[in-house]
Amino acid sequence: MEYRNEQLAEEKVFKDPVHRYVHVRDKVIWDLIGTPEFQRLRRIKQLGTSFYTFHGAEHSRFNHSLGVYEIVRRILENFKEHPDWNEEERLLCLTAGLLHDLGHGPFSHSFEKVFDLDHEDFTREIILGDTNVNNILKRVHPDFPQDVADVIGKTYSNKLVVSLISSQIDADRMDYLQRDAYFTGVSYGHFDMERILRVMRPMEDQVVIKATGMHAVEDYIMSRYQMYWQVYFHPVTRSSEVILTKILHRARYLYKNNYSFKLPPLHFETFFEGKPTLEDYLKLDESIVLYYFQIWKEEDDEILSDLCNRFVNRHLFKYIEFNPNHQLEQWMELHKLFTEAGINPDYYLEVDSSSDLPYDFYRPGEDEERLPIHLLMQNDELKELSRQSEIVEAISGKKRTDHKLYYPSDFIEGLADKSRVKKRILEILEG
């Protein structure tokens, strides 16, 4: 039998707290899960540093990737008999769902920012490069790795396939919203996925939703909105990310200035040099990063050591609301005052911004890029979701922004009580 169609003698199941079971029957999928590149995802947390805010949020990209695969599998079960669905694309969809996050590195958000990396480039490299994953994909067909990379990169010619993995209502979002809600323990993020799956319909170049399922989709959009502001942009999580970012900046700065580390940062060297190879990238997971942070706690460099202590022991920066326009001059003054007080503002003063766009759409002729969610009406007409739903219309295109200023309150408190600098810093920070 062709490898593409090979089935396991017995179906394998993974117990899953969100979907109850993840079912695997295809040999290709089973083999991919067993590769070192996929197993590595067990050591990359899905929510990065959010566990400092929500102690349950220790779940991994491995869990999420299996979840996305399972949702795609269930969608395709429903599409099976539909005339607009080509069953030949089934394995491609399942594989792309499973591998869509393969290139995520440790604490992706901060790492990518500091080292100017993009996990999507690494996903592509793992799929197309000399890896175990690539060897398996090539056995399906020599073009199969490229097809999988194209679906994940959204450049595959069949847009229906792409939209299952990434669109405004896709398997990726449906899994992470529910999974993140479950593990953080928050009450947002829940919606009736079973209902959404039942009302999804394949069309020529997109997935549409039967109009009768509109309320389930409204619930999904609202869940997404709430999760972003209550979980993903939580200021405590942002504070830990600020510190993580500062650690990486400091370690790179020291490395570039020939600082003699007690333990040579071998796993970071090519990152510091700006040219991490795929091999180096795959070796660096969160357990390795945390190991270095433990070691760097004992470094002679006071800034690196302090920042690592803060991160490892959750001694985070305090934050206040900050408007970079109205408080621009205060920011400049704070910068000077911190320097005067011997606190390096490059590492101990930061403004961080969060923004989100919960749902967006374009109208014909508008130069927007996001594909809207379409409802399939009884007369087979397509209507854009926000035209039918008042709830969605109310938040469509609304971008919400939040700026916060982060600083180490203990350092400020530690300044001499009567000092002019301390008094003025507190005046600014406490309004």
Partner 1 sequence: MLQDHAKLVSFFSECHELIGRKRLQKMIYILKKCHFPFSERYQFHFYGPYSEELTLRVQELINLGFLEEEKEKKSGYYQYRYSITDEGQKFLTHYNIEMPNMDQWIEKMKGMSSRFLELIATMLYFDNRPKEEIEEKVLSVKKKQNYTREELERAWAFIEEMNVKH
**What are the residues binding partner 1 (CB under 8 A)?**
112-113, 116, 118, 120, 153-155, 157, 159, 323-325, 328, 331-332, 349-351, 353, 355-357, 363-371, 399, 401, 403
Closer to partner 1 by Cβ: residue 278 or 351: 351
Closer to partner 1 by Cβ: residue 74 or 104: 104
Q: Report the nearest approach of partner 1 to the CB of residue 399 (Å).
A: 4
Q: Report the nearest approach of partner 1 to the CB of residue 185 (Å).
A: 28
Tell me how far apart the alpha carbons of residues 282 and 125 are, in angstroms, rounded to a whole number. 11
Closer to partner 1 by Cβ: residue 232 or 293: 232
Q: Report the nearest approach of partner 1 to the CB of residue 328 (Å).
A: 6
Closer to partner 1 by Cβ: residue 61 or 109: 109
Closer to partner 1 by Cβ: residue 266 or 332: 332
Q: Report the nearest approach of partner 1 to the CB of residue 288 (Å).
A: 24
Closer to partner 1 by Cβ: residue 39 or 355: 355
Closer to partner 1 by Cβ: residue 155 or 379: 155
Closer to partner 1 by Cβ: residue 298 or 368: 368
Pairing mode, if any, of strands 374-376 and 207-210? Answer: parallel
Q: Report the nearest approach of partner 1 to the CB of residue 397 (Å).
A: 10
Q: Report the nearest approach of partner 1 to the CB of residue 366 (Å).
A: 5
Length in residues, the chain: 431
Q: Report the nearest approach of partner 1 to the CB of residue 248 (Å).
A: 15
Tell me how far apart the alpha carbons of residues 117 and 278 are, in angstroms, rounded to a whole number. 12
Q: Report the nearest approach of partner 1 to the CB of residue 35 (Å).
A: 24
